[in-house]
Chains A and B, each alone.
Chain A
Amino acid sequence: MSNWESVIGIEIHIELSTKSKMFCGCAVNFDSPPNTNVCMVCLGMPGALPVPNQQALEWISQIGLALNCKITENTTFARKNYFYADQPKNYQISQAEGPVAVGGYLDIQVDGEEPHRVFIERAHMEEDTGKSTHVGSTGRIDSAEETLMDFNRAGTPLVEIVTTPSIKTGAQARVYAQKIRETVLALGVSDVKLEEGSMRFDSNISVNRPGEELGTKVEVKNMNSFRSLERATDFEIARQIAALEAEERLVQETRHWNEETQQSKSMRSKEGSSDYRYFTEPDMVPMVLDSEWVGRAQAALPELPHERQARYEELGLDAHAASVIVGLEPAYGLVLEEAVGAKADVRLVGNWLTQDVTAWARSEERTLDSSHLTGTGLAELAEMVSGGKLSATAAKKTLAGVLEGEGTPGEVATARDLIQMDDLGAIEAVVDGLIAEHPDDFARLVAGDGRVTGFFVGQAMRATGGKADPKVVNHILRDRASV
């Protein structure tokens, strides 16, 4: 593997969450019954004309700025000509020369690696296609008897983001795609749900020996999760290297990833690229995105993920926790900020959010939003830990209770009897009692066997119903043992 370089470019398509379609006033709605959000324009009927959605242009400008791109001052639409049943006009209105955004970058960091800059070649505006459902004996395209067409999705605004071939590994590809998703979520311009297709990606991969020219490029499609993007990309790199080392010739082609078999299969030969016969769209006029336009888009940018990350780290969160929270739904950030505002220990809060709350959300299939947890609550909880009222374990149980709506941390801890004993004398009495009950074990402790400590601490927790602070118990034990 070390005597090969891999060259990867990623294309990401993002459906914008505008109310209406890109070129007509039909509603954009994933859940609508088939063919109920269609009109003469998005059905490509004779005499229909496209008129561009200003909101979509504003939003793609924001995406471009968030990716450090330059916004093209004079930009136009172009027709990309190809015949396909899901493309009503048999051309897609897209952009060829002079797309809205060019020449940007996104900095990523794979866990355990150095930061890496991915260069963005362009981001352009286009329209999505309709949906085909293949109906046949197995439901798969190659055994279909007929195809059912639904044009609800046709004409949905689509942003295509294309990197230069500046990605090197499957892991980088995954992190890049995740960071794009975070950024777009932060902008609020798409719900970027992979499972609904509002975010899709394709990977372009080639390998070459160092110093030699670029190898044959293969496109891989049908990766439906970030993990499969990573795996499919790595699979392709390995496949190409194996082929070349066996002196086989690679074909420029498109391959489909199969998540079940964890392999890709060739779909069609891309001998040369398709002749799309691009030409400037004559049914629309040029768009001048001048400095005023760019200024408004810039001003409309919310805080971007990398800016939030930096801010959380400044608050005291470690880089990993900060990055996790930035990648979660906005509620996590809001709760964190509220807690910090209430003077909570940021590390405690960060851990609870990134570990306990996310685990609860996953297992209960709930969201933080829908729970009763607030930042003030977390601050109260943190105060109880710092103040010795709750052990770490007790705090976790209290948190679970708060998430379930049992009350504030104070109320939950009291109700569940989790509050630690703060009566030193009582704890000492318990420990002394245990020492008396287990003289042999105590003798081993005195002799220096540290493992016995755990036994005594465990016993002390049982005797006190978990309410003795293990640290205090430890301290008392050491004290008694050193006598």
Chain B
Amino acid sequence: MSAADLSIAEAQAQLASGALSSVELTEAVLARASMTEAQLHSFLHIDHAGARAAAEAADSKIADGTGGSLAGIPIALKDNMVTEGIETTCSSKILSGWVPPYDGALSQAMKAADAVMVGKTNLDEFAMGSSTENSAFGTSRNPWDTDRVPGGSSGGSAVAVTIGSALGSFGSDTGGSIRQPASLCGIVGMKPTYGLVSRFGLIAFASSLDQIGPFSRTVQDSVSLLEAAAGPDKMDATSYKGAYPNFGGSLGKGVSGLRIGVVKEFGGEGQEAGVTARFDATVAALEAAGAEVLEVSLPHAKYSVSTYYLIAPAECSANLARFDGVRYGLRVDGETVEDMMRKTRAEGFGPEVTRRILLGTYALSAGYYDAFYGQARRLRTLVIRDFATAYETCDVLVSPTSPTTAFKIGERSQDPLAMYLSDIYTIPSNLAGHPAISVPVGSDDLGLPVGFQIMAPALGEEMMYQVADAVETLMGRSPMPVLSEVAS
């Protein structure tokens, strides 16, 4: 067994005991990446030299006991997170070759924790998509079936952890972009409460919805990664500066006596039988373990996709206006500055990004604001109220993470609306700013992973992880894809 197959907790134990060095661990991970990248294309950039240097430095610190919380652990960052001196592209032609002169908050946090950054992972361009097919640099592939998508937009980060090209990674979740790929790849992925992880250095898609979160193979690892990433940040005005939850404080406590709400609206139509089967089995297991299972309703859930597809594009249309060829990134020459901007943006942005900018511009424009964007913002409040009502009778809410398992590459890429509906169970948590996690709970008849989503109230990470941990214990830790199948 390669060190690349270790969980973070297992690796930390071996690093602490001296059975393993970070350099060895990092080499194993880099070797895994070399072996699989041609097939899976999860990375846009692997920093071999930087990773090795960081591993050596981590080993010294581990030796003298001064290592940070993730000392020596190889991790990967989604390429929409600014890393100083390392190309950051958002999988877009418009930022191809852009080397940031500053470091984002997460990158700084990982350095402070003495983690080893392996590289930057592939994503749907500017985090817009649910399959990673919208990357300008080629799609990533699902390690369980390389003809299928890994999910998106954080597909690359999910694949890296799934296959062992990193022990943990970070993605961003705006409408489900961490949880859905985690579900489709059979790993753990979570989105924290809005405001717990700084967005400084996260290249914005939809400012009021974006959150950075970890991918890992176990729930414990997820806690470790989140602890290293979360914290107040003066550089982010939306950052939470109050009391932070004790994320892992209730691991191992089980679910006896907890009230688990099954969301009525997240079922039925569009949900694959294989997904339903695994979901039902998980709920049954929780009940058998002592949880009280109730049915709850989120009446405004039916508006959540529409609401999301008005708010997110509106915010992104403004967030992406800065890409104009003046100060950085791609420039296509023009006779006038307006001409230059138009040409640069037309050439630099892919179709999905273009679509969402157009959509957002329209939704905000004179005459339409109130009926579309204004209404969507008011609907968010109603979604929050729905959750509040549900949490009067429940501790957590559950649903499948995604209505389907991994779909085939190309299957939905021509139908934007079908693609948008992949996020139907994940979007409400983004609208509310609540934490949610996807835990793998087995696979369907084709062997494709199914994810189980647990949602908690704002700042409810401790309870969320408590239930996630129980699910992992009850349903078993997800296996890793068998290498030989992948390498062929």
Whether the complex brings A and B within 8 Å at their CB atoms is answered yes
Which residues on B are within 8 Å of A, measured CB to CB?
81-82, 88, 90, 95, 98, 100-102, 104, 199-204, 206-208, 234-238, 314-315, 317-318, 321-324, 326-328, 337-338, 341, 361, 364-366, 369, 373
Main secondary structure of the interface of B (DSSP, over half): loop
Residue on B nearest A149 in the bound complex, by CB: B326
- The complex places the Cα of A284 from the Cα of B239 at a distance, in Å, of 9
Tell me, rounded to whole Å, the shortest Cβ–Cβ distance linking B106 to chain A: 10
Taking CB atoms, residues of chain B closer than 8 Å to A50 are: 237
Give the number of residue pairs across the A-B interface with Cβ within 8 Å. Answer: 99
Which residue from B235, B315, B317 sits with its C-beta under 8 Å from A49? B235
Q: Are B237 and A83 in contact (CB under 8 A)?
A: no
Q: Which of B102, B207, B321, B322 contacts A282, CB < 8 Å? A: B207
On whether A40 and B102 interact (CB within 8 A), knowing A47-B202, A275-B366, the answer reads: yes
| A277/B202 in contact, CB under 8 A | no
Cross-interface CB contact of A47 among B104, B208, B238, cutoff 8 Å: B104
| A79 interfacial contact with B, CB 8 Å | yes
Return B254 CB to nearest CB of chain A, in Å. Answer: 38
Shortest B395–chain A CB gap in Å is: 28
- Chain B contacts of A90 at CB under 8 A? 321-322, 324
A226 on interface, CB distance cutoff 8 Å: no
List B contacts of A49 (CB < 8 A): 199-200, 235-238
Complex Cα distance, B321 from A275, in Å, reads: 15
Chain A, residue nearest B82 (CB): A47
Known: A46-B82, A89-B322, A277-B361. A51 touches B90 (CB 8 A): no
Contact of B88 with A46 in the complex, beta carbons under 8 Å: yes
Instruction: Give the complex CA separation of A243 and B204 in angstroms.
Output: 50
Report Cα–Cα, A52/B98, bound state, in Å: 28
Pairs of residues from A and B, 7 with the lowest C-beta to C-beta distance, nearest first: A90-B321, A277-B364, A282-B207, A282-B208, A47-B82, A46-B203, A44-B322
A48 CA to B321 CA, complexed, in Å: 13
Q: Which of A44, A79, A279, A285 contacts B238 (CB 8 A)?
A: A285
Return A421 CB to nearest CB of chain B, in Å: 75
CB pair A52–B237 under 8 Å, yes or no, is yes
Known: A46-B204, A47-B82, A85-B337. 12 other contacts (CB 8 A): A44-B327, A45-B102, A46-B328, A47-B100, A48-B200, A50-B237, A51-B237, A85-B324, A85-B326, A88-B322, A89-B321, A279-B373
Residues of chain A within 8 A of B206, CB atoms compared: 282
A43 sits at the interface (CB 8 A):
yes
> Given the complex, which residues of B lie within 8 Å of A369, measured CB to CB?
none
Residue interface mask A61-102, B partner, CB < 8 A = 1: 000000000000000000101010100111100000000000
Say whether, besides A89-B322, A91-B321, A147 and B337 are in contact (CB < 8 Å): yes
In the complex, 8 of the A-B residue pairs with CB atoms within 8 angstroms, ordered by the A residue number, are A44-B322, A46-B98, A46-B322, A47-B200, A49-B235, A81-B321, A283-B238, A285-B237
Which residue of chain B has the shortest Cβ distance to A79 in the bound complex? B318
Chain B nearest Cβ from A183, distance in angstroms: 30
A100 to chain B, nearest CB (A): 17
| CB neighbours of A85 from chain B (8 A) | 324, 326, 337
Look across to chain B and name the residue whose beta carbon is closest to the beta carbon of A283: B207
Rounded to whole angstroms, the CA-CA distance of A84 and B173 in the bound complex is 31
Binding site for B on A (CB under 8 A): 39-40, 43-52, 79, 81, 83, 85, 88-91, 147, 149, 151, 275, 277-279, 282-285
Which residue of A is nearest B337, CB measured? A85
- Residues of chain A within 8 A (CB-CB) of B102 are 39-40, 45
**Bound CA–CA A88/B101 (angstroms):** 17
Are A81 and B238 closer than 8 Å at their CB atoms? no
Minimum CB–CB distance from A451 to chain B (whole Å) comes to: 73
Write out the residue numbers on chain A whose beta carbons fall within 8 Å of the beta carbon of B101.
40
Closest approach, in angstroms, between the C-beta of B425 and any C-beta of chain A? 24
Nearest opposing residue in chain B for A82, CB measure: B321
Report whether A47 and B327 are in contact in the complex, using a CB–CB cutoff of 8 Å. no
Judging by beta carbons under 8 Å apart, are B364 and A46 in contact? no
Alpha-carbon gap, A89 to B203, bound state (A): 13
The distance from the CB of A144 to the nearest CB of chain B, in whole angstroms, is: 10
Q: How far is the CB of B24 from chain A (nearest CB, A)?
A: 33
Complex Cα distance A50/B314, Å? 19
- In the bound complex, do residue B237 and residue A46 qualify as a contact, i.e. CB atoms below 8 Å apart? no
Q: For A40, what are the chain B residues with a Cβ–Cβ distance below 8 Å?
A: 101-102
Interface centre among A39, A275, A279 (most CB of B within 10 A): A279
| Residues of chain B with a CB closer than 8 A to A44's CB | 322, 327
Q: Is the CB of B90 within 8 A of A46?
A: yes
Q: Which residue of chain B is the closest to A281 with respect to CB atoms? A: B207
Contact of A81 with B318 in the complex, beta carbons under 8 Å: yes
A45 touches B327 (CB 8 A): yes
Residues B318 and A91 in contact, CB atoms below 8 Å apart = yes
If A47-B82, A47-B203, A48-B200 touch, whether A279 touches B364 (CB-CB below 8 Å) is: yes
The smallest beta-carbon distance between A244 and chain B, in angstroms, is 29
A401–B186 Cα gap in the complex (Å)? 91
Closest to B315 in A: A282
Closest chain A residue to B209 by CB distance?
A: A282
Please give me the residue from chain B that is nearest to A274 by CB atom: B366
Q: Which residues of B contact A88 (CB under 8 A)?
A: 322, 326-327
The interface centre, meaning the residue of B98, B204, B321 with most chain A CB atoms within 10 A of its CB, is B321
A45's closest neighbor in chain B, by CB? Answer: B328
Chain B residues within 8 Å of A48, by CB:
200
Q: Tell me the nearest residue of chain A to B201, going by C-beta.
A: A47
A90 to B317, CA, bound (A): 11
Contact B321 A284 (CB under 8 A): no
Q: Are A83 and B338 in contact (CB under 8 A)?
A: yes
Cα A90 to Cα B200 in complex, Å, equals 19
CA distance A81 to B234 in the complex (A): 26
